[in-house]
Structure formats: C-alpha cells, structure tokens
Amino acid sequence: MKSRTTHPTTASENESGKAAMLRLLLPPVYFEHFTLKEYRFRWADIISTDPSPTARMHHAALTIAMRNFDEFGSAHPRVDTIAKGMHVAVGTARSALHDLERHGWMDIQQRDGTTNNYQALLPVSCTPAIVELAARRTRQPSSGPDTLAVAYQVATGLVTSLGGNLHDTESFTRVRGQITKILASAADIELEAPYVIDYVLDELPRTVENPVGLCHNRLAEYHRKFARSRKRPAPVDVDPERRATVQGLLDMVTAALGTSL
C-alpha cells in the first residue's frame, strides 16, 4: 500500500484562505469602496468613525490594529501585552476585547498556550461609518483630464523604472491614486511632476525588492512634507543613468500634456 504524502500549507495558501473568509464575512458595502489589501487600516478608521463602540472598545481595537494586525486584520498577542499597550489592567483589557466580540467587531478564538487569535470583523451596523469614511476620502481637490493623464504616466514610469509589475493592477492603482492626489493639490502640475519623480527616485537603485511599496512610502512622505505648501525638496545630483531615467519619465509627462516641461 502506497503511503500518502501530505504537503505543508504554504503562507500564500493561508493568505488566500483568509481573504476568501473575509470576502464572505464582511458587509458587501465595504468592497464598494475599499480593498482587502488595506483592510487593517480601514478597519481601524471605520471603528473610529462609528459612534457605537465605547471609548474602551475603541482603545483596545486601535491598540491591536496599530501594534499587531497583519494585512487581513488578524493577530494573536497576549492579553497582558494588549493591556500594557492600553495602559490598563488585564481585566479591563479582557472586558473591552469581549465587548468588541459581542458587538461583532472581532472574532476571538482560543489558541494553545497563553494567546488568543483575534480576527477583525465589521458588523452590518457599521455601514453608515463605511460610507462616511469613503465620502471623507473622496473630498479631495477635483482632478481634471490633464492631472489624471499625467498621474498615469508618472505612475507607469516610476513603477517600471524600479522593476515593478504593471499587471499588479490593485497596487498600481494605489500608486496612481497617491500621485493624482498630490498633483490635484498642486498649483501647476507641470512644475510639480518633476519634483515628485525626483523625490521617489532620489539616490535609489534601479531595481528594488518591493518597488510598489517603495513608491507608496516615498509618495506618502512627499504628500506629507510638500503637498499644499510652498516648500519643495532640495535639488539633488543624480548619476547620468538615473538622470536619463528621470528625463524619460518627464518626456512621457510632456506627451501626456501636449506641452514641454
């Protein structure tokens, strides 16, 4: 009789299983506005916007979300670790966690040892909070056709120049969205685009391990430091090969605008 070989579950299989579970458990309205890739951040935003949880529930939720969650809103810290992060007694933290579970914000499963598994959920009652958060995010300066065209070209150029994959449409869309937000708040997109490109590529190798993640981080820094202000990054000297890459991106922007930069 042949022995049956079993294969260990891979990390990617675990992640796809979590994703499938959340798609079944979360209110459909969530997916009308947000993606699973941003779930742990949006969950924290939504529970902060919803008025129904108590202050202690909010505190426990945000402590776990900011310190422990993976991208699918799952974590297994010790209760005393959560209590320490909240600066409260263990009993108080445990009570807040069970209130979150009772009101549908979290599923708590016992694990072997001294930890539980905490899975962030969204009760149907939080639909108004989801809609409010989505509305708040879209209250941005309007983006005209030129802005959208330039943002697309800059995003394409940045991701490809760093060795990224444009077929990862979800991540690419997020990069383009960040650039659109920066350009939409700029007085002159022709002047802003070169600064954005230089800032992302400044002193970086041509190929990086996580190009889309790097774009996210650098664009978020740029928006925080320079968007809607008169300050701009200091000009830097880059090697000729990098300068050629930057100029190629600027040429793409020029074509999108039908003007010269």
pLDDT in tens, 216-250: 888 888 888 887 666 777 765 555 665 666 666 66
3-state helix vs strand vs coil in the chain, percent to 5? 65, 5, 30
Q: Is 1 a member of any domain?
A: no
Average pLDDT, integer, range 136-164? 71
Q: Are residues 133 and 21 in the same domain?
A: yes
In a domain, 69, yes or no: yes
Q: Residues 40, 132: one domain? A: yes
Residue 5 lies in a domain: no
Whether 36 is in a domain gets the answer: yes
Say yes or no: 131 and 50 in one domain. Answer: yes
Confidence of residue 65 (pLDDT cuts 50, 70, 90): confident
Same domain, yes or no: 120 and 215 = no
Same domain, 103 and 150: no
Write out the residue range of the structural domain in which residue 158 sits.
141-257
Question: What CATH code is carried by the domain that includes residue 110?
Answer: 1.10.10.10
d(CA 131, CA 50): 11
213 in a domain, yes or no? yes
| Residue 163 placed within a domain | yes
- Same domain for 131 and 152, yes or no, is no
pTM attached to this predicted model? 0.50
Q: Which of 137, 167, 191 is the last residue of a domain?
A: 137
Whether residue 130 sits in one domain with residue 42? yes
The string over 23-46, giving b where at least 16 C-beta atoms fall within 10 Å of a residue's C-beta and e elsewhere, is eeebeebbeeebebeebbebbbbb
- The rounded distance, in Å, linking the Cα atoms of 128 and 51 is 10
- The reply to whether 49 and 35 lie within a common domain is yes
User: Alpha helix locations (H) across 87-209?
Assistant: 90-102, 127-138, 145-161, 169-184, 189-201
Do residue 146 and residue 90 come from a single domain? no
- Per-residue pLDDT tens over the stretch 89-122: 999 999 999 999 999 999 999 877 778 899 999 9
